[in-house]
Structure 1
């Protein structure tokens, strides 16, 4: 049996995740921009400061929306083998994780409303690790379902006490 080693996983998440991350981030930026527009049209002094704040927010938002989703897509990866689950995630703070299949306790899939709209799902692999569960975000719904079934079957067939 091969010994799992920390290495970059092979599979990327769904390309649709780029659009999902963009829309999710844009919604947050729109809330901030709406608040700033409300502040801009309110009566009061400091019009130059309010306009400058809005312009800076729009520029930072545009840069964030242009860079972050593409960057995350290049970083986020996953892979399963008969002996381990590998994940890589993040964009500023990047994390590589590996979990032996023999340590898997549960495998879950979840989809929020926005993820359902984009046909995406997340898979969470819970182990006995103090580092917490491994999360694979941005998978296509079909891929996530197959992955959950595969990991469940592999974990059940693997000798170990999952602790």
Structure 2
């Protein structure tokens, strides 16, 4: 039976996802508010669009970060990397250590602000890389070091 990976992402990821969603919705609402202010025609349509944006934004911002935190999990063993992610659509991924080709860690500006990082494990899989996002920066560094050591000690051709 498939079990949930053992580790949660950093609790700080909740505020990272909240801020990222809030900024996205504020940009969208800002453009629409500007569209409402510009006096032309179709004012009811513009107000309806802005209202729809707010109606969609509020539950997204209020629910999504906490829901993602409950879902997102990860685990690395000497045999594989396991992840579960998503919020509306949930994805389970397993990358055998013997199939790992590269291990990367990335921090965007907003992630740096929250001291978070994303670890990307690339394999030859057509499904694409396995990503563990929302990790504390120090946890990400340790995970990259652990995976690198595990990959180096594993025989196989990573294909």
Q: Do the two structures share a fold, i.e. TM-score over 0.5? A: yes
Give unpaired runs (5+ residues) of structure 2.
Answer: none
Runs of 4 or more, structure 1, over 3 Å off, are 45-49
Q: Distance in 2 between matches of 1:123 and 1:50?
A: 41
TM-fit CA distance, 1:48: 3.2
Q: Distance in 2 between matches of 1:120 and 1:67?
A: 21
Q: Which moved more, 1:15-24 or 1:49-58?
A: 49-58
TM-fit CA distance, 1:30: 0.8
Q: Distance in 1 between matches of 2:93 and 2:43?
A: 49
Q: Is the 8 A contact 1:11 1:79 kept in 2?
A: yes
Q: Which residue of 1 aligns with 2:63?
A: 67
TM-fit CA distance, 1:6: 4.3
Structure 2 residue corresponding to 1:121, chosen from 97, 117, 126: 117
Report the secondary structure of 2:82's partner residue. Answer: strand
Q: Which residue of 2 aligns with 1:23?
A: 19
For each residue in 1:19-58, what CA deviation from the matched residue of structure 2 results, as whole angstroms up to 9, or x when unmatched? 1111111111111111111111111334333333322211
Q: Distance in 2 between matches of 1:136 and 1:57?
A: 30
Q: Is the 8 A contact 1:107 1:148 kept in 2?
A: yes
Structure 1 residue corresponding to 2:51, chosen from 32, 50, 55: 55
The alignment status of 1:130 with 2:99, answered yes or no, reads: no
Q: Distance in 2 between matches of 1:59 and 1:132?
A: 34
Q: Which residue of 2 aligns with 1:90?
A: 86
Q: Distance in 1 between matches of 2:99 and 2:156?
A: 7
Q: Which moved more, 1:42-51 or 1:142-151?
A: 42-51
Report the secondary structure of 1:97's partner residue. Answer: strand
Report the secondary structure of 1:138's partner residue. Answer: strand
Q: Is the 8 A contact 1:6 1:98 kept in 2?
A: no
Give the length in aligned residue pairs. 159
TM-score norm. by structure 2 comes to 0.94
Give unpaired runs (5+ residues) of structure 1.
Answer: none
The two structures, once aligned, show a CA RMSD in angstroms of 1.4
Report the secondary structure of 1:106's partner residue. Answer: strand
Report the secondary structure of 1:99's partner residue. Answer: strand
TM-fit CA distance, 1:139: 0.3
